[in-house]
């Protein structure tokens, strides 16, 4: 976040965007300081902002709190839900300079450009009832409910079809319609929408096959649309194709284009505080914010170009470095991006 904020401040000045940047606590930091993962001042700031940049929440320190108080549910999911940020865009784009950092052979990922459109405020993450209950006999049972209404499917479908139309014209809807009724309805609704988008080639795929195809031949995909949990899992897998989860930004949008922007990765507890994390996913999330919520495509492009040039210059944090290659720190990577603007 520190590196992304620096880049945002610089771009704000250089393009005279007149953005007022305000900071607020969320997640574990907010629990430590105020006792709650989403203080009302933070929520009020999010409500009045045109766009939100979010650092990842969660970590071992808060893992034993009751589910409803944890940073993930009480912080992150609460903001997503309260602001109705249902449309989550996760672009898995391979920077050609990183073809060797991908876990797949370079020829399988050269030119890779997939957009995962994940439904973010429904599905099994939010379905009721949910909980852990005691069964007769004393054994406990955990349960969640996987639900989607037609209107929820239609609005995420619309996001995906519209984006597919502007990109490669292909949309793959991912479900588990061979087993789960909720996704039988999902498939039916998405299929029905296809008649309004004759220019988009629609296909359907079961999620298990989609996971396999992503690591077998990922370039077959253009836009993928799926529910909350499948999208969470598939986007982490897609991230690795681009070299590292440290490269994957995201946008979470409401119907009007207001959005929250965050890297797809989490708080990386195994390397936190060591100045090792790759800041590019968060920096690229700033670019998405400028493009999708603030209508500043030129400034967004400038950030993406700066990232590309930094990769051209061979700068690599540990996660994207080839074996034996020199490694830079989080701050050095931030410095390098900033230098591109001087």
Selected from 25, 74, 76, 104, the binder of ligand IPM by CB under 6 A is 76
Residue 65 annotated as binding site = yes
Question: Which residue's Cβ has the minimum distance to Mn ion?
Answer: 232
Q: Does 311 bind ligand IPM (CB under 6 A)?
A: no
List the Cα angle 128/131/137 in 5-degree steps.
130
The total number of residues written for the chain in this structure: 342
- Ranges of H-type helices in the chain: 2-14, 28-34, 40-48, 78-82, 106-109, 150-166, 181-193, 207-216, 228-241, 280-292, 297-312, 330-339
Residues 221-240 binding ligand IPM (CB under 6 A) are 232
Selected from 19, 72, 126, 337, the binder of ligand IPM by CB under 6 A is 72
Beta-carbon contacts of 171 under 8 Å, excluding residues fewer than 6 positions away, are 160, 161, 164, 197, 200, 201, 202, 203, 222, 223, 224, 225
Q: Does 115 bind ligand NAD (CB under 6 A)?
A: no
Cis peptide before 180 (omega within 30 of 0): no
β-strands 51-53, 259-263: how paired? parallel
| 32 belongs to the catalytic site | no
Q: What whole-number distance in Å separates Cα of residue 163 and Cα of residue 76?
A: 25
Q: Does 264 bind ligand IPM (CB under 6 A)?
A: yes
Q: Which is nearer to ligand NAD, 157 or 334 (CB)?
A: 334
Segment near ligand NAD (CB under 6 A); pick from 13-21, 204-212, 221-229, 271-279: 271-279
How many C-beta atoms surround the C-beta of residue 265 within 10 A? 21
Residues 226-265 binding Mn ion (CB under 5 A) are 232
List the Cα angle 254/176/111 in 5-degree steps.
65
The catalytically annotated residue of 84, 100, 113, 236 is 236
DSSP state of 19: P
Q: What whole-number distance in Å separates Cα of residue 291 and Cα of residue 299?
A: 8
Residue 208 annotated as binding site = yes
Q: Which is nearer to Mn ion, 238 or 311 (CB)?
A: 238
| 199 belongs to the catalytic site | no
Contact indicator for 245, 121 with CB cutoff of 8 Å: no
Q: At closest approach, how far in Å is the CB of 151 from ligand NAD?
A: 26
| 73 belongs to the catalytic site | no
Residue 236 annotated as binding site = yes
Q: At 174, phi and psi to the nearest 5?
A: -110, 130
Q: Which is nearer to Mn ion, 120 or 315 (CB)?
A: 120
Give how many residues touch ligand NAD by CB under 6 A.
Answer: 20
Selected from 58, 123, 246, 279, the binder of ligand IPM by CB under 6 A is 58
| Sequence ranges of the binding site | 59-72, 80, 90, 118, 208, 232, 236, 266-278
Q: Which residues bind ligand IPM (CB under 6 A)?
A: 58, 72, 76-77, 232, 264, 266
Q: Which residues bind ligand NAD (CB under 6 A)?
A: 56-59, 72, 76, 245-246, 262, 265-271, 277-278, 281, 319
């Amino acid at each position: 976040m520190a590196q992304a904020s620096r880049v945002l401040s610089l771009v704000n000045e250089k393009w005279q965007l007149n953005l007022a940047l305000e900071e607020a606590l969320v997640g574990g930091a907010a629990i430590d300081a105020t006792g709650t993962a989403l203080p009302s001042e933070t929520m009020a700031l999010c409500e009045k902002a045109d766009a939100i940049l979010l650092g990842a929440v969660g970590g071992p320190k808060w893992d034993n709190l009751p589910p409803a108080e944890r940073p993930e549910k009480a912080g992150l999911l609460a903001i997503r839900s309260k602001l109705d940020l249902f449309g989550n865009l996760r672009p898995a784009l391979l920077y050609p300079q990183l073809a060797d950092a991908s876990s797949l052979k370079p020829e399988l990922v050269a030119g890779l450009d997939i957009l995962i459109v994940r439904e973010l405020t429904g599905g099994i993450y939010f379905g009721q009832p949910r909980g852990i209950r005691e069964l007769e006999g004393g054994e406990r049972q955990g349960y969640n409910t996987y639900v989607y209404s037609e209107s929820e499917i239609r609005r995420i479908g619309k996001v995906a079809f519209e984006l597919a139309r502007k990109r490669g014209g292909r949309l793959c809807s991912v479900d588990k319609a061979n087993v789960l009724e909720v996704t039988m309805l999902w498939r039916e609704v998405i299929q029905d929408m296809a008649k309004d988008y004759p220019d988009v080639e629609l296909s359907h795929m079961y999620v298990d096959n989609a996971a396999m195809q992503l690591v077998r031949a990922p370039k077959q995909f253009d836009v993928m649309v799926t529910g909350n949990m499948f999208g969470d899992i598939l986007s982490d897998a897609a991230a690795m194709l681009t070299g590292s989860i440290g490269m994957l930004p995201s946008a979470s949008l409401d119907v009007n284009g207001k959005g929250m922007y965050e890297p797809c990765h989490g708080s990386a507890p195994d390397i936190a505080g060591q100045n090792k994390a790759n800041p590019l996913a968060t920096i690229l999330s700033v670019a998405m914010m400028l493009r999708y919520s603030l209508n500043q495509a030129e400034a967004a492009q400038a950030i993406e170009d700066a990232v590309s040039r930094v990769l051209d210059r061979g700068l690599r944090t540990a996660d994207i470095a080839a074996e034996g290659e020199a490694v830079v720190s989080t701050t050095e990577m931030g410095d390098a991006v900033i230098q591109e603007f001087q």
